[in-house]
Amino acid sequence: MSSTEVNQQGVEDVLFDAIAEMGPDRSAVTREAAFEELDVDSLDLVEITQVVEERWGIEFNPQDFSNVKTVGEAVDLVLARMS
């Protein structure tokens, strides 16, 4: 899937699945869910950035996610980098 074919749902699916692999139940992973509630820490966020880099070739600095508190904010950040 190229970045031109990616939409919000596609990014959500990839990120939600990646987060669920870190431990939280997939049904708990929503746009509104806070990473703290899901027990996702800063090292997990680094893994998420690696998934994004591998999938879409978008690189992030660690500080890019420093103010991201919810899954939806992470999705929005990825989408913003794609445009």
Give me the residue label for tokens 């074919």. 5
**Domain count within the chain:** 1
**Identity of the amino acid at 65:** F
Separation of alpha carbons 21 and 24, rounded Å: 7
State the residue range of the domain holding 71: 3-82
CA–CA distance, 47 with 73 (Å, rounded to integer): 16
The proportion of the chain whose per-residue pLDDT surpasses 90, expressed as a percent, equals 77
- CA 52/CA 45 separation, integer angstroms: 11
Q: pLDDT per residue over 55-81, tens digit each?
A: 999 999 878 888 999 999 999 999 999
Supply the pLDDT for residue 2.
44
pLDDT at 54: 95
Q: Are 75 and 33 in contact (CB under 8 A)?
A: no
pTM of the model: 0.88
Q: Residue 29: is its pLDDT beyond 70?
A: yes
Question: Residue 13: which CATH number?
Answer: 1.10.1200.10
